[in-house]
Amino acid sequence: MSRKMQRALATSSQLGTEHELSINDKNFQPLPISDRIIQRLNGSVKHEVAFGGIKVSKELQKHVLELIPARPGSLSYLEGNLHEGLCKLLLATNCEYSFLGLGMHPLLKLEQTAYWDHDEQEYYQAYDRLFDIHQHGWLNIQALQVNIPYGREENIVSMFNKVRAMMPYLVAVSASSPMVEGELTSYMDNRLVYYRENQRQIPEICHNVLPEKLESVEDYVKINRRIYSELKRSDAEILCREWVNSRGVIVRFTRKCLEVKAMDEQECLRSDMAISAFLLALLRCDLELEEDENCLYSLLESAMRQGVSGMRPELEKLLCQAEKRATLEERRYLPLVAKKIEQGSLAEVMVQQLKETDERIEPLLMQMQWCLKENRPYIAEMERCG
């Protein structure tokens, strides 16, 4: 790793994260009422409002709210700021709703939700015309998004390629979506199963989640230009923005950061920060990882299907390397990653719990709700949840 890249990653004090939570009734049925909640908080419907020291934003799907910290900061700042904002949100809504993390809503049927139909709806209307967004890959996905400043533009290529090579391992350890419409599937990460297909009419946009290896920043610019050309041919120039690129990591030049969005949302904010700490620490390491596209696709498929269990030895080695290069703050979060590697991703733990209770999902979701509210990781608190 270059010294300039080391300096860019020497601290995580400017990290940004975004967290997508589903809105539910007390029986954990999804409620497409994000606009009503925002109006309740703000007095009018807007796509994003400041509330409780954080930003509360709409998402494409109306049963989801996105929580964004007031500003970039350290992991501990982000965790504290976001949890305080979440608690204020719960109080402002009189605890009428059950909020959940996770990569997908495990019970949602498509007729139970809708897409945002207020300001900025023109983007979603364009997506709907092109791809028919009434599918799980649009209306039932919740990602943990981590925004990592790249410092100088010369750092982009090396950071981007490293995240690309790390992606299967990040997906494995963060998998939290083993159930669709109330049924367990053969995958631990169903969010990416649906997400990678949601724009198949223009495959250039998503590239099956895995980005191409870059040789230069211009390579990335050319990829975006190809996407824009395809969109213009489909009379969808409105979508020609840098955020339309849907790979698992993209470059946000306007924010001067890499936007990593391959990971499932976790059960609580502390677990989100643990995944983020793992990512940051690994970026400082000199890693010998697979770079061949076909091999990475195979690893990614294994991660989506099996979670941690398909690559535990490799993850154990990566954790050892991360612990050596982690900051003091990151080291406080890495034991949660170690527990995930030992016990399995949240999805794997959920599957085991469901099998032990004849697939009764409601008690598990009650525990997940409690974990989010109290900011307690499920894998560390299984006996106390609820």
Q: Distance between CA atoms of 163 and 279, rounded to whole angstroms?
A: 8
Q: Does 108 fall in a domain? A: yes
Average pLDDT over residues 115-120: 97
Q: Residue 182's pLDDT band (boundaries 50, 70, 90)? A: very high
- Give the C-alpha separation, 246 to 204, whole Å: 9
Query: Could you tell me the CA-to-CA distances from 73 to 17, 119, 152, 215, 304 in Å, in that order?
Result: 9, 29, 19, 30, 30
Q: Does residue 383 fall inside a structural domain?
A: no
DSSP 289-312: ----HHHHHHHHHHHHHHGGGGSH
Q: How far apart are CA 371 and CA 350, in angstroms?
A: 13
Interatomic CA distance for residues 304 and 172, integer angstroms: 6
Is 14 a domain residue? Answer: yes
pLDDT of residue 101: 99
**Residue 30 sits in which domain range?**
3-374
Question: pLDDT tier at 359 (50, 70, 90 boundaries)?
Answer: confident
As beta bridge partners, residue 285 has none
**Residue-level pLDDT at 148:** 99
Q: Is residue 351 part of a domain?
A: yes
Please report, rounded to a whole number, the percentage of residues in the chain having pLDDT higher than 90: 94
Distances (CA, A) of 7 to 50, 151, 152, 155, 299: 32, 9, 10, 10, 30
How far apart are the C-alpha atoms of 340 and 174, rounded to whole Å? 9
Asked whether residue 213 is assigned to any structural domain, the reply reads yes
Model confidence at 358, pLDDT cuts 50, 70, 90, reads confident
Q: Reply yes or no on whether the pLDDT at 10 is more than 70.
A: no
- Secondary element (H or E) of residue 314: helix 312-325
The single residue listed with the structure tokens 């849907």 is 246
Q: Measured between alpha carbons, how far is 55 from 42 in angstroms, rounded to an integer?
A: 11
Residue 385 lies in a domain: no
Q: What is the mean pLDDT of residues 105-112?
A: 98
Q: What per-residue confidence (pLDDT) applies to 386?
A: 45
Task: Using the predicted structure, report yes or no on whether residue 5 has a pLDDT greater than 90.
Answer: no
d(CA 178, CA 105): 10
pLDDT at 385: 45
> Which residues, at least 6 apart from 341, have a Cβ–Cβ distance to it below 8 Å?
173, 308, 312, 315, 316, 319
Position 4 scores a pLDDT of 57
To the nearest whole percent, how much of the chain has pLDDT over 70? 95
Mean pLDDT across 106-114: 98
Between 113 and 4, whose confidence is greater? 113
Tell me, what's the pLDDT at 380?
44
CA triple 217-222-224, angle to 5 deg? 100
Average pLDDT over every residue of 218-230: 98
Domains: count for the chain: 1
pLDDT averaged over the chain?
Answer: 96
Domain-located, residue 332 = yes
- Is a pLDDT exceeding 60 seen at residue 7? no
pTM summary value: 0.95
pLDDT tens digits, one per residue of 290-308 = 999 999 999 999 999 999 9
Query: pLDDT at position 9, please?
Result: 61
Q: 384 lies in a domain? A: no
CATH number at residue 64: 3.30.590.20
Concatenated DSSP letters of 149-178: E--SGGGHHHHHHHHHHHHHHHHHHH--B-
**C-alpha angle with apex 257: 21 to 190, nearest 5 degrees?**
40
Which residue spans within 6-112 are E strands per DSSP? Answer: 16-24, 48-51, 54-58, 64-68, 98-100
Residue bearing tokens 């364009």: 126
Q: Which residue has the higher pLDDT, 379 or 181?
A: 181
Sort strands 249-252 and 48-51 into parallel, antiparallel or unpaired. Answer: unpaired
Q: Is the pLDDT of residue 383 over 50?
A: no
